[in-house]
Amino acid sequence: MLTDRQQLILAAIIYEYTQTARAVGSKTLHDQLNLEFSPATIRNEMSFLEEAELIKKLHTSAGRIPSKAGYRYYLDHLMVADQVSDQDVALIAQQIRGNFHELDDLLGQTARQLADMTGLTALVLKPKAINLKISSFQLIQLERQQVLAVLATSDGKVTSQTFRLPKEMTVSSLTDMVAYINAQMVGRPVQEVLSLMNSEELPVTLSRNVESPAAFLQLFGEVLARSVEEQVHIGGRLNLLEVADDAYLNLKEARSVLELFDSPQAVRQLAATQKQSVTIRLGQELPTTLLQDYAILAAPFSVGGDDGGVIALVGPIRMPYAKVARLLSTFAKALDTKLLEYV
């Protein structure tokens, strides 16, 4: 257990280091923060903190920097959430309140805005849409056997796919069934319809309406599946380059980190969180060694009752956690309320 003074000093070191990016020494700390005990005392406490592996030296005669364990301790015990300025709250609310036809537009815009405000990289994962409902399903004939299937869902998204009808089939032979689908399925959750399709029930019903339902079912299923595909929005990707403390960066590392964020699966894995509030992971706690020098803050949100949405921030371990965490949770809350509209 750390004494109050030790905690104070640890927090001070993290504060200083976060600001200046330089190892902080006892004298600097004393002068900078007007502490009422001497550099020598600070040195003594520092060697205790170092013993506890909460801070470390880059070399024998250097000042201290926080270790990853030190950040961890800080996050778990010392951090006091910054107040988000009223101005910022207003800004966030205003932006998010805007009118977006499509949920994806809103989420993309949110990611961009969060990235801008923090200077970090923002991730927004749309949840698996359990409650997403079918708004309409239509077939549109393009030419001869070319048909366009269009599925609209309650989040405003339109999924479409062209396909070729088997020779003997005409579009009009399908209209009954399209009508049936619209009568029966509109307003029902996509996921529910998908499971209906697996459970023989729908196929049986359909076969009364269509001669060869198999091909059609496959098409319908494909479009349904694509409409609930999980999607990832990223804002401020290039902020990932701002890890280095100097003006030059390692080409290979920079490339691999940026490449990592080109893979939606990888991003999804990175941002995953179970907790109900902001979760912070850093360095070796992250699932990839590529991000040893990064930290990720993640907060859940829900879309119209569906759980599983995540809004997250990625940045260098040395970052102003208090401020950033607070901003993130403000965004998460704003999304939570706004997204009740997209049921």
Which residues of this protein are in contact with DNA, per CB under 7 A?
22-28, 36-41, 43-44, 46-47, 50, 57-64
Which entry of a second copy, DNA, none binds 236, CB below 5 to 8 A by partner kind? none
Supply 190's token pair: 């996509």
Token digits of residue 309: 């949405």
Nearer to DNA, 318 or 326 (CB): 318
Q: Least distance from C-beta 135 to a second copy, angstroms?
A: 5
204 or 241, CB closer to a second copy? 241
What span, in angstroms and rounded, lies between the C-alpha atoms of 316 and 243? 5
Reported as type and span, the H/E element at residue 51 is: helix 39-51
| Cα 43 to Cα 299: distance, rounded to the nearest angstrom | 38
Measured over the CA atoms of residue 231, residue 147, residue 165 and residue 200, the dihedral's sign is: positive
Q: Which residue stretches of 119-227 are H helix?
A: 172-185, 190-198, 201-207, 213-227
CB atoms closer than 10 angstroms to residue 168:
8
Site map (CB under 8 A) of a second copy, residues 160-199, x = contact: xxx-------------------------------------
Span of 12-20, 28-36, 254-262, 315-323 interacting with a second copy by CB under 8 A: 254-262
Q: How near is the Cβ of 160 to a second copy at its closest, in Å? A: 4
Residue 179: name its binding partner from DNA, a second copy, none (Cβ under 5 to 8 Å by kind): none
Which helix (H) or strand (E) segment holds residue 314: the answer is strand 306-316
Dist CA 286 CA 260 (whole Å): 13
Q: Pairing between strand 64-66 and 306-316?
A: unpaired
- 153 φ, ψ (degrees, to nearest 5): -120, 170
- Residue in 94, 250, 284, 288 binding a second copy, rule: CB under 8 A: 250
CA angle 278, 75, 84 (to 5 degrees): 55
**Closest to a second copy by CB, 39 or 221:** 221
Residue 138 found at the interface with a second copy (CB under 8 A): yes
Q: Work out which of 156, 221, 283, 320 binds a second copy, going by CB under 8 A.
A: 156
Query: Residue 60 binds which one of DNA, a second copy, none, with CB within 5 to 8 A depending on kind?
Result: DNA
Closest CB to DNA among residues 42, 297:
42
Give 25 or 189: the residue with its C-beta nearer to DNA.
25
28 or 231: CB nearest DNA: 28
Q: At what angle do helices 321-338 and 86-97 cross, to 10 degrees?
A: 30
Are 283 and 292 spatial neighbours (Cβ–Cβ below 8 Å)?
Answer: yes
Residue 244 contact, options a second copy, DNA, none, Cβ 5-8 Å cut-off depending on partner type: a second copy
Q: Which of 167, 251, 275, 289 binds a second copy (CB under 8 A)?
A: 251
The listed partner (a second copy, DNA, none) that binds 28, CB under 5 to 8 Å by sort, is: DNA
Spatial contact of 24 and 11, defined as CB atoms under 8 Å apart = no
Type of residue numbered 166: P
**Binding interface with a second copy (CB under 8 A):** 101, 135-136, 138, 140-143, 148, 150, 152, 156, 158, 160-162, 238, 241-242, 244, 247-252, 254-255, 258-259
